[in-house]
Structure formats: structure tokens, C-alpha cells
Amino acid sequence: MIYAVYVATRDASTTVRARRANAERARLMRRPPVPERGTRVALVAPAGALRGADDLRRAEANTRSLFWEPVAGAHVLDRSGYLAGDDRARLSDLNAALADDDIGAIWCARGGYGAMRLLEHVDYASLRRRPKVFIGYSDITALHAAFATRCEIVTYHGPTARATLTTFSRDSLERAIAGQDSCGLAENATTLHGGRARGHLIGGNLALLCALVGTPFEPIFDGAILVVEDVNEAVYRVDRMLTQLVLAGRLQRCAAIAFGAFTEVPVDAPVEQLGARSLSDVLAETALRLGVPCISGVPVGHIDDQWTLPLGAQVELDADARCLRILG
């Protein structure tokens, strides 16, 4: 009964605003040019450190396999504790790639942690002047959100450059960058709340989205289709993060939600031992509370076979059909 009242209040107060906001986002967002054969692609590590030269060699091989020319950042193999070099070095590589007109795309070599530390000093003006393809996921969520709000361009939540690309992931990545539908039917997904909704696509790593709330770099939730994933987070922590987004008034603004993969979930946390709740229970409860179209189990996250999501693009989520379509 409590949830029914909550949903009615949401529908009455936010639907018109969400539609207007979504229409405005559709007008503003730009897709970067499709990289042609021979395009120079910068390989940067704005967050965590690579394991070593083998990671870089694999990143370069992946780039060449797409008929692009890899250009490794000067500091891509640097290490400063858990960071890929100090903030100045990581920022230098990223900003150099953004400003260089001979670079047509930027592919993050890995995620990890550290991208948030750069947000205040990124060269957004260069990306606004010359939009270019930007690819990555996990901690790179922070940069995706910042580029959407500061530059109004579509970016690509997809495999890192060092990943071992499966046929599934490669196909989705290529289709996304070409402006085609890179998603579709999520065969292993579960419908949590039926219905269909359209909106601009936002999302990425759940922990990063929570960390961005209240900053100037958080994505625009109004009228959005939200896709979230995470790794190595206990169920109670996922519960807490989703609750935070509700208490902050963010999830109520979304038109629909698709939960991706939540992998490597710890089961030995003290809170878990007191009385386990399943992740499915937490996600279903969130869907019921919000009353918007919602599915779980889409192929997004720290998994081998993953969709590439064109964040900022217009999409449609059909929860009953378990299908996410890219509209443009």
C-alpha cells in the first residue's frame, strides 16, 4: 500500500517535467563522427593502473583489429599505488588526446579507480569543439557522466581496450559506434515491472553514480532510461546505494531502469551473515517501489559478453519483451 501511494505521487509530479527534459536532451546530444579505417585512437588510463606491458599490447592489438591506429598515452603504463600514475600524469594523457585533432577516438585501457579525481580539470572545451568517440566502463562512468553534462555528446559504455573481446562484445561495440542498434533482446533478463518507456540513456557503475550525486558532474536523471551494474559489492551495499539514489530523489525521475550484471558478490560480510537477502529480492523491491518499467540481467557490466551502450542516445525499454532498443 505504501508503494502504491509513492508511485501515484511520482506520476503526478514528475511525468510532464521528465518528458520536457527528455525532449531537450534529445535536441542537445550529438554523436561523434564514426572513426574510419586508419583513425588514430588514443589509449589512456585515467583511473587504475594496467598490470603491465601485456595489457598495453592487447589494447593495441584490439585497436588494430578494428582497423584503427593505436596511440598509447605517454603515461599509460605509469603506476602510483592503485592509480595509473599521479593525477597530473593521467590528466595530461587524457587532455592531450582531447585536444589533439589528429586523434579521432579515445579508448580507456582499464577502469579501476581514479577518474573522479580528474573531473574538475578535464579539457571539456576541446571535446565540445571536436566531439570524438570515447569508450570505457566501470570507473570510467565518472567521465561518461561529465562528458554528457558538460559537452552534450554521446559516449560509449563498452569494453576497455585491454579486454579480451568476445564475438558478442565486438559486434555490439562496432554496431554502437556505427550508430546502429547495439543492444536488443536480453535473453537472460527478468521482467521486474512491466511496461514500455522511451528516454535518453544514462548509467554505468552503480557506486560511481552514487558518488557523483550532488556534484556538478552527475547525469541528468529526468526522463532517463537508467542502466546500472557493479562488481564486488555485497547485497546490503547494493541495497544501500539504491536506497541512497531514492532518498536523493534520483531514481524517481527515471522513466525506466535496466539492471545489468552484479558480479563477484561477497557473501561473507557480517551483515550478510545476520540474515541473507538475495540480490533478486533487492532489485525486485526497488522496481516495485518505483513503479516504472524495469528488468534485471541485461548483458552490461564486468562480464565477457557485454553490450556497448551509447550513453546519451535515445532508447526504448520494453520490459515485458525484455528488450532495449537504440532509437538514435
pLDDT tens digit sequence for 250-299: 999 999 999 999 999 887 666 555 557 899 999 999 999 999 999 999 99
Q: Which CATH number fits domain 40-165: 3.40.50.720, 3.30.9.10, 3.40.50.300, 3.40.50.10740?
A: 3.40.50.10740
The set of cell numbers assigned to 78 is 605509469
- Residue 105's DSSP bridge partners are 41, 133
In whole angstroms, what is the distance from residue 91 CA to residue 169 CA? Answer: 28
Residue 276 confidence (pLDDT): 73
Nearest to 218 by CA among 239, 248, 174, 173: 248
Is 114 or 4 the better-scoring residue by pLDDT?
Answer: 114
Which comes out higher in pLDDT, residue 142 or 28? 142
- 72 confidence band (pLDDT: 50, 70, 90): very high
Question: Which residues are catalytically annotated?
Answer: 138, 229, 302
Domain with CATH 3.40.50.10740 in the chain: 40-165
Q: What is the pLDDT of residue 266?
A: 87
**What pTM was estimated for this model as a whole?**
0.92
Listed in order, the ranges of the chain carrying CATH 3.50.30.60 are 2-27+181-326
CATH class of this structure's domain 2-27+181-326: alpha beta
Confidence of residue 3 (pLDDT cuts 50, 70, 90): very low
d(CA 185, CA 248): 31
Q: What is the pLDDT of residues 74-119, one digit of tens each?
A: 999 999 999 999 999 999 999 999 999 999 999 999 999 999 999 9
The torsion defined by the Cα of 260, 266, 272 and 276, in degrees rounded to 10, comes to 50
- What lies within 8 Å, CB to CB, of 17 at 6+ separation is 222, 223
